[in-house]
Structure 1
């Protein structure tokens, strides 16, 4: 089957600003894929577990191109559950787009096009899915990639701090991101812990949740 005729189940494609990562604040096209095998207890996109329609790669690429925005994020759900996402990302890179992949730490990232900026979300104990982390992914990180830790407690923070140090993440990737679980912990608390420990990580908030309603879709 020709590449452009392959299909993916897509939840939504929309144009907004990037609310997280080192690309925060930049206009971005989001391609949200359906399905996820994790059930993080703070998930804010449960609607992507099952809702979606099949689209060909050509239809997806055309929809992205219509926004005339060179920054594209592939997200979910869990994008890597659908293997045709790999050629989609390569096609977008070939078109000159800057492509970001938001993925959990539970799936092999080694087959992703090396031009893609992979943002890997290692699951903390507070997520309820910490045992799903695929630690071999750390060996595949590059200077283009980012690692995110989402935390809701001191335990999550200390666990994340330990992993940053144990795996020398600050030298393996472009940035390490510490993010609070929205509504579960005072963000100031995490900032104070980072400063006290003199960690060279990047603190972040989900910017889009402060611009729009935290539950609004398509932003």
Structure 2
């Protein structure tokens, strides 16, 4: 096993269900392992198990699909040291690469060509204390910050964090309702009433395929 081998839960081809490239056919590389335990997590199967893979074999599998869009996700992909090299090699091959990260691990070494989609964990996530606010200085205009909102208290907290850290001046902001906990229409109406400069998003893949893994 090489030092930059990665433990992979799955590699699959689907429509991007979230973020700026929603709806675009995308290859997802899901890394195993996560130090967080968000109460709404829908990928707990990726906490353990998986298969050790070389970077070359991962990139060879990605090349089988007719898309330039790649999402590296988890779990928490940055929990594995080799993730940084995977991101670099994908960018070297001119893929459009996004990284989905919890925001609990340092992002300063992520290749600048990568689009970072970084959570700020709300109080109802049960992992608010894991937010690494120092990461905000490493975000730029092509990155995104995501708030998964479970209730009215989360919404108020997210608005306050936006103002406190002047987040709309850093990058695009995503407000996403937690499925089964926050009514999407209600969240949309709050955003409109407050005239927030955010992107409302729902998880497209769950409307199409439910909670089926690998979709």
Alignment of 1:13-52 (within 5 A): 13-52=11-50
TM-score, normalised on structure 2? Answer: 0.98
User: How many residues end up aligned between the 2 structures?
Assistant: 215
1:70-115 C-alpha deviation (Å, 9 max, x unpaired): 0000000000000101011110001010000000010111100000
Q: Do 2:4 and 2:81's aligned partners in 1 also have CA atoms closer than 8 Å?
A: no
Equivalent residue number for residue 213 of structure 2 = 217
Shift of the alpha carbon at 1:141? 0.8
Shift of the alpha carbon at 1:51? 2.2
Equivalent residue number for residue 127 of structure 2 = 129
- Aligned structure 1 segments of 4 or more residues deviating by more than 3 angstroms: none
SS at match of 1:193: helix
- Rounded Cα–Cα distance in structure 1 between residues aligned with 2:59 and 2:201: 30
Q: Do 2:12 and 2:214's aligned partners in 1 also have CA atoms closer than 8 Å?
A: yes
1:187 aligns with 2:180: no
Shift of the alpha carbon at 1:68? 2.6
TM-score, normalised on structure 1? Answer: 0.96
- Rounded Cα–Cα distance in structure 1 between residues aligned with 2:54 and 2:99: 19
1:6-48 C-alpha deviation (Å, 9 max, x unpaired): 3000000000000000110011000000000000000000000
Aligned residues: CA RMSD: 1.2
1:65 aligns with 2:60: no
SS at match of 1:200: coil
1:204 aligns with 2:173: no
Equivalent residue number for residue 9 of structure 2 = 11
Gaps of 5+ in 1: none
- Rounded Cα–Cα distance in structure 2 between residues aligned with 1:68 and 1:88: 19
- Rounded Cα–Cα distance in structure 1 between residues aligned with 2:187 and 2:160: 15
SS at match of 2:29: strand
1:118-153 C-alpha deviation (Å, 9 max, x unpaired): 000110001000000000001111111000000110
- Rounded Cα–Cα distance in structure 2 between residues aligned with 1:77 and 1:165: 29
1:172-216 C-alpha deviation (Å, 9 max, x unpaired): 01x100000001121111111111111010000000000012x20
